[in-house]
Amino acid sequence: MGDLHRSIFLKELKDTFPDLISEINAQYGLLHQEMHVFADFVQRAIAVGHAKDVASCFEFAEKFYRDGNDQLQNAIGVSFIEHLSLQNAQWAWDLLGPILKREYLQLADAGMAKPLPYLR
């Protein structure tokens, strides 16, 4: 378990992705809702093929999953990784860091994330 926590995550998220500030602020301080905002942002970037944005988001999420406290790791797993739709975006899967790939595969094995056809 790391020592990064919600306050650090939110400050860096808002600094790195300022377009998300108002939507993040509208989530009433609920970490999982804030994480959904981030996940939706990434999913929109995947949908339009913005590889640079997707890579930046995945690097950001990987850092906070790796170095975050239990609450942050749980929120990234449950409200970010579990909701990624990568079935038709192998290029995005290839950008995902090793820790988040492992977590995604564990969630898929447990039936909580969609299996990826290109990994069969």
| Cα 81 to Cα 101: distance, rounded to the nearest angstrom | 9
Q: Which of 49, 63, 54, 62 has the alpha carbon at shortest distance from 17? A: 54
Residue count (the chain): 120
* Residue 56: pLDDT over 90: yes
pLDDT at 94: 98
CA distances from 5 to 1, 45, 65, 69, 88 (A): 11, 25, 10, 6, 32
Q: pLDDT tens digit string along 22-52?
A: 999 999 999 999 999 999 999 999 999 999 9
pLDDT at 120: 78
Q: pLDDT tens digit string along 2-15?
A: 899 999 999 999 99
Mean pLDDT over all residues of the chain? 97
* Residue 1: pLDDT over 90: no
* Residue 57: pLDDT over 80: yes
Residues 6+ apart with CB under 8 A from 77: 65, 103, 107
